[in-house]
Amino acid sequence: MSESIRESVSSSHQPTVSDNFKPTALTENLNRIYDQGFASDFHEDFFRHSGFSNFGYWQPGITEGDVAAENLVLHLLKPLQPIQGQILDVACGQGGTTKTLAKFVPAEQITAINISQQQLTAAARHTPGAHFEQMSATRMRFADNSFDGILCIEAIFHFETRRRFLNEAFRVLKPGGWLALTDVQFRVRTPARIIPPANHFHRLEQYPAFYTDAGFEQPLIERALKPTWASCSKALGLYGRKRRQHKGFKPEAMREWVMNEMRCRLYDAVIQDYLLVWVRKP
């Protein structure tokens, strides 16, 4: 690990709470939602306690949430092989993504950040040796030109704002470094306490400018609604029904099933597209 990164990241395997992590109304709300959601039996069973929480990239033969979730990371990393150097996992959640990165580079070369201390604690258990720190993607405490690659799965639409994060990502990447991420285009304005209004865009043609305005090269974009959310929605529906049949008509089982159905229908209605993005700093 380079000295510049070491200055700001604990070398211990336990996550660090940085002194200057400043929660905002948005990050506090997101932590409430995600911490509670990730702790639910439904979530943990669907992802089989893997540390993942994303829609996945569903291909023939994949039947489990965690396998699809890891496949999303593998699909993003495929064109970037060989993965080398210092890698930053932004919005690592409970660390499934960090664990997958550690299949390609030694854990000591990976730094993972997230806004939730609860999630970081879980993530640190999955990948001993990696460095975890509570930090917002939009206020990174790393020196310029610190990382060879940045991965950010299914989180950029939450950041205050997408543009601020891309400026930060550009700053902390070394020249020639890569950024690989997934993003969501929404059909309608979602509540500002979940997605900042500035992150909405209406036409896909507007989207590459988010990257080029920050100094990046033209991004490569894959529109992937079908293998991601559309397939995940079906898998969640099937899983929810099987679970309710198994548990019978107890009030808790009914509540869990209804919540899952409502969440799926809501996401079906608001998600317009799911984007996979690869881009480099010149």
Ligand X SMILES: C[S@@+](CC[C@H](N)C(=O)[O-])C[C@H]1O[C@@H](n2cnc3c(N)ncnc32)[C@H](O)[C@@H]1O
Positions that interact with ligand X (CB under 6 A): 27, 30, 34, 52-54, 91-93, 96-97, 113-116, 119, 136-138, 153-155, 158-159
Nearer to ligand X, 222 or 253 (CB): 222
**Minimal distance, residue 13 CB to ligand X, in Å:** 19
**Minimal distance, residue 245 CB to ligand X, in Å:** 28
**Minimal distance, residue 100 CB to ligand X, in Å:** 9
Q: What is the Cα–Cα distance from 186 to 178, expressed in whole angstroms?
A: 25
CB 66 within 8 A of CB 52: yes
CB 256 within 8 A of CB 240: yes
Nearer to ligand X, 8 or 253 (CB): 8
Helix, strand, coil tally for the chain in percent (to 5): 45, 15, 35
**Minimal distance, residue 29 CB to ligand X, in Å:** 10
What is the end-to-end Cα distance of the chain in Å, rounded?
Answer: 23
Nearer to ligand X, 164 or 174 (CB): 164
Half-sphere exposure of 216 (CA within 13 A, CB side): 28
Instruction: Please write down the long-range contacts of 245-251, taking CB distance under 8 Å and 24 or more positions apart.
Output: none
Nearer to ligand X, 9 or 92 (CB): 92
Query: 35: burial class by Cβ within 10 Å (0-12, 13-18, 19+)?
Result: middle
**Minimal distance, residue 228 CB to ligand X, in Å:** 11
Nearer to ligand X, 186 or 253 (CB): 186
Residue nearest to ligand X (CB): 93
* Closest alpha carbon to 112 in 143, 89, 144: 89
Nearer to ligand X, 102 or 113 (CB): 113
Q: What is the Cα–Cα distance from 236 to 56, expressed in whole angstroms?
A: 11
**Could you tell me which residues come within 8 angstroms of residue 207 by beta carbon, excluding any fewer than 6 positions away?**
185, 201, 219, 221, 275
**Minimal distance, residue 145 CB to ligand X, in Å:** 21
